[in-house]
Chain A
Amino acid sequence: MFVKPGGSPAEIAEKLQARRVRIMRVQAVLFVAWQAAFINNLRGLHSPLRTVDHLQLSGFAVWAAALMMLLATGGGWWRSRAVREILDDEVTRAHRASALAWGYWTLALSALGLYLAAQLVTIPAFESAHGLLTLGVLVPTLRFVFLERRSERNG
């Protein structure tokens, strides 16, 4: 699955781009699926946290950071400059800009909702942060995947 594609820089970039979209789509689905498990376990978290809880939460943070890195840089980190430039061409940058704008509005509106809700109910900081992090990673990722797939299909 992760065999390095060969050929000209354009051919390599073409394959990496398709792979990037596939990976991001699968990761987004897994990311959502993991939330279901997390929410089920949330009330069961020990206080103070056990080592296993720390590992689970740190793993989630690393996962979120990796997805953010992939979205921000476009991937192809070990490829030549020529491949990376094609991989991060004008349309890709436009899709990323749109994805990040969606992320911004999602976070801003979610923060607004939390701000208003916090006047009525107590919302633990950790749960707020987790929710914001999840939305802040998931929404831009899904938006980017949607735009990339649409541009492949019919422009």
Chain B
Amino acid sequence: MAEATLQNGLKAARTRLGLTQADLAEKVGVTRKTINTVENGVFVPSTVLALRLAQALEMSVEALFWLSGEES
């Protein structure tokens, strides 16, 4: 069985709210590079960060992150 990878809709959700990476970083309390790496799938965030991101983007974690092969 192929290993599932984490996908996310961070960029779409962020741009929907008219936020830049820097804006979102400030809301969540991380650096812009953290938002950049999560958006690009380079970094898998911790549960705490995922919850903070979802809260800042007014979404559920499940809507923001999903495993490859699953519907968002």
Contact check, B34 vs A154: say whether CB atoms are below 8 A apart. Answer: no
A151 vs B37: C-alpha distance when bound (angstroms): 6
Size category of the B interface is 20 to 34
- Interface positions, chain A 81-95, Cβ under 8 Å from B, are 85-87, 89-92, 94
* Complex contact B37–A14 (CB within 8 A): no
Shortest distance between the CB of A94 and any CB in chain B (Å): 7
Bound complex: CA of A87 vs CA of B29, how far in Å? Answer: 10
User: Pick the contact of B22 from A10, A92, A148 — CB < 8 Å?
Assistant: A10
| Chain A residues within 8 Å of chain B by Cβ, number | 19
Question: Please, what's the 1-or-0 string for B1-29, where 1 marks a CB less than 8 Å from any CB in chain A?
Answer: 00000000000000000000010011001
Cα distance A85–B31 in the bound complex, in angstroms: 10
- On whether the beta carbons of A155 and B31 are closer than 8 Å, the reply is no
* A90-B26 contact, Cβ under 8 Å, with A155-B39, A155-B42: no
Choice from A8, A17, A154 contacting B26 with Cβ under 8 Å: A8
**Closest residue of A by beta carbon distance from B30:** A89
The complex places the Cα of A86 from the Cα of B32 at a distance, in Å, of: 10
Q: A155 to chain B: which residues have CB within 8 Å?
A: 33, 36-43
Contact residues of B with A, CB < 8 Å? 22, 25-26, 29-34, 36-43, 45-46, 49
Contact surface of A with B, Cβ cutoff 8 Å:
8, 10-11, 13-14, 17, 85-87, 89-92, 94, 148, 151-152, 154-155
